[in-house]
Amino acid sequence: MSAMTGKTTVRGDFGNPTGSGYAVVTVENLESADAAAGAAAMAAFVGGLKTGGFTACNVADTKITITVPQVAAKPGASVSVDDQLVVSFKDGSKAEKPRKLTITGMDPDSALLAEGDAGKRLTDAGKVALAALIDTLFGWTAKAVVLSGKFKTKY
């Protein structure tokens, strides 16, 4: 079973370390059917806190985080989470700003990478394969366009 947490940002006139007046109301283990229902319930709850006199802050955005507890064993190889592929992609059917994706644990010797003048980059075949995975993630049909993929090791 997944755990759902609701966080609604509220704002007063001042307070918090930066003095901006922003704070967050957090409710853990929401029992809503899905994220949309959780967001609606959380917004109604915090709105009710304001109208009920529990807070005088104004209500801002609500974020729902769903955590599906899993246990991952080590891969049994020399996989470093510091080896990353930083990808820029977009929905090719729209004129939109590119989106970023960081994939952790990529093998620096992967056949999906090619050495170039500016370091290791995702190959054309790698871009096509990753675009198909992104299409699946978003429920798109042949819309994902991978613009670039740069391999880096973060220390």
Q: Is the pTM of this model over 0.75?
A: no
Question: Tell me, what's the pLDDT at 112?
Answer: 95
Question: Tell me, what's the pLDDT at 16?
Answer: 80
Task: Provide the mean pLDDT of the chain.
Answer: 90
Chain segment 105-114, per-residue pLDDT in tens = 999 999 999 9
Domain chopping of the chain, boundaries: 3-67, 83-153
Helix (H) or strand (E) run with residue 150 in it: strand 144-153
Which of 145, 114, 103, 139 has the alpha carbon at shortest distance from 127? 145
Query: Cα(145)–Cα(154) distance, rounded to whole angstroms?
Result: 25
Chain segment 1-18, per-residue pLDDT in tens = 568 899 999 988 888 878
